[in-house]
Structure 1
Amino acid sequence: MTGANPILPADLFFSFRSPYSYLAIGRYRALAESHTVDIALRPVYPLAIRKPDFFEQSNPAWLGYLLRDVPRLAEYHGIPFGIPRPDPIVQDLHTRKIADKQPYIRRITRLGQAAARRGHGLAFAHEAAGLIWGGAANWHEGDHLAQAASAAGLDFTDLEAEARDDADALDVEIAANQQALEDAGHWGVPTLVFEGEPFFGQDRIDIARWRMEQKGLQAR
């Protein structure tokens, strides 16, 4: 349509195991729905998969701070929050060792990439992360994920079949997402990349929006 505001493209690098990604995803989805920006989800595997020894080497205070910080941020933003049941990563919390087999995170990340292929990645990640981090018990069982897919405008039977049958190709795409994140100048999630500029963290959403407004972001 003549005179219509151009749609600005951006990429959101996201992990289903990252509570900070969860705290960001709904606000980015709302921004994409209300303003002239198309935010493409770029799922990545979490550090527990990419660098399994990270938690064994991290400062012991790190986890304790995270468990204090995330609930208060969720409360501040009015976002439901609960400890995942189960954790998307199979991990011994006493030794912090990551298990070799990781059925939950691989399944949900592949589902997210399959949803991204269909242009519904942002919506699916928001709905699914709400199950994982919003307090739903056994989010991986029953019809929880099917309901999340439906709320995102997707057919779950089709989505899950692709995540299972095209797993290798999806993993190649997920690895490419990680490389694109690093190429943009960061390594962590959530990171929004707009015109090559990375905005890392759930506390950079307003700064990312400010930059987009400089480039013509408008209300739809």
Structure 2
Amino acid sequence: MTLQADVYWSFRSPYSYLATRRYVALTQTYDLQINQRFVYPLAIREPDFFEKNHPNWLGYVFKDIFRVAQYMDIPMAPPNPDPIVQDIATRKIADDQPHIFLLTRMGQAASRRGKGLEFADEVSRMIWGGTADWNVGDHMQQAAARAGLDLAELKAETESDAGKLDQEIADNQKALEASGHWGVPTLVFDGEPFFGQDRIDLAVWCMEQKGLQKR
């Protein structure tokens, strides 16, 4: 019997990116369906989060993500442009955010089609993997195509159904918090949250206890 798990995920989260190809590999190796649940990043949900946090926090995260990427042999580069417009010196989040709402709504539209994980994988490989100006030209169109999706169709849906998409994204956040966590990436299986790219092996072990089988 195919087991089900939910993954709560953000386009601005480097740890989400570092986990995603492993989530994809799980669905290829095991009789497992992962339902991608997109949420808005902390910068949108809590705009003052970065200003309130300890000054060392952001520097540590940057050091850690490149260390993890090197260890796992995953390409990693600062996003250009960043999905969130932010003054890194002051850590202040800009009022105008031209990227993250479109990205997240398109992701949720992809999830409606059962392709959320594939879309997250392909797009995050561009954003965090070193593709400069990923938001211009045909980069996004090609990423959507690799995920088996039509970018124009996704974009049209974000315009015609933005309110319902945002409600679904908000419901995802509520479901994440109801599971017992609040951050991303979080994989939830059988009501139990597994936060972070370093808890995937533990999640697999727990799923094996519930009958997870290789394909």
Q: Same fold (TM over 0.5)?
A: yes
Match of 1:28 among 18, 23, 30: 23
- Structure 2: how far apart are the matches of 1:164 and 1:212? 38
Which stretch shifts more, 164-173 or 113-122? 164-173
| Distance of 2:30 and 2:133 partners within structure 1 | 35
The equivalent residue for 1:3 is none
CA RMSD of aligned residues (A): 0.7
> Which residue of structure 2 aligns with residue 118 of structure 1?
113
Query: Any idea what SS the aligned residue of 2:99 has?
Result: helix
SS in 2 for 1:131: helix
Q: Does 1:168 align with 2:182?
A: no
* 5+ long unaligned stretches in structure 2: none
Identify the residue that residue 83 of structure 1 maps to in structure 2: 78
Match of 1:12 among 7, 18, 35: 7
- Deviation beyond 2 Å, 4+ runs, structure 1: none
Residue in 2 that maps onto 1:150: 145
Structure 2 partner of 1:128: 123
Q: Give the Cα separation in 2 of the matches to 1:67 and 1:8.
A: 34
How far 1:34 sits from its partner (Å)? 1.7
Deviations 1:13-37 (A, max 9, x none): 0000000000001100110122111
How far apart, in 1, do the equivalents of 2:34 and 2:168 lie?
A: 17
In percent, how many aligned pairs have the same letter? 63
The whole-number CA distance in structure 2 between the counterparts of 1:65 and 1:40 is: 30
Match of 2:33 among 38, 41, 54: 38
Post-superposition offset of 1:164: 2.2
Unaligned 5+ residue runs, structure 1? 1-5
TM-score normalised over the length of structure 2: 0.98
Partners of 2:125 and 2:158 in 1: how far apart? 20
Q: Secondary structure at the match of 1:103?
A: coil
Task: Provide the residue aligned with 2:212 in structure 1.
Answer: 217
Shift, 1:159, TM fit: 1.2
Please state whether the residue corresponding to 2:87 is helix, strand or coil.
coil
Distance in structure 2 (CA, Å) of the matches to 1:117 and 1:108 = 14
What corresponds to 2:42 in structure 1? 47
Q: TM-score, normalised by structure 1?
A: 0.96
Secondary structure of the residue aligned to 1:199 is strand
Whole-angstrom distance in 2 between the partners of 1:121 and 1:33: 15
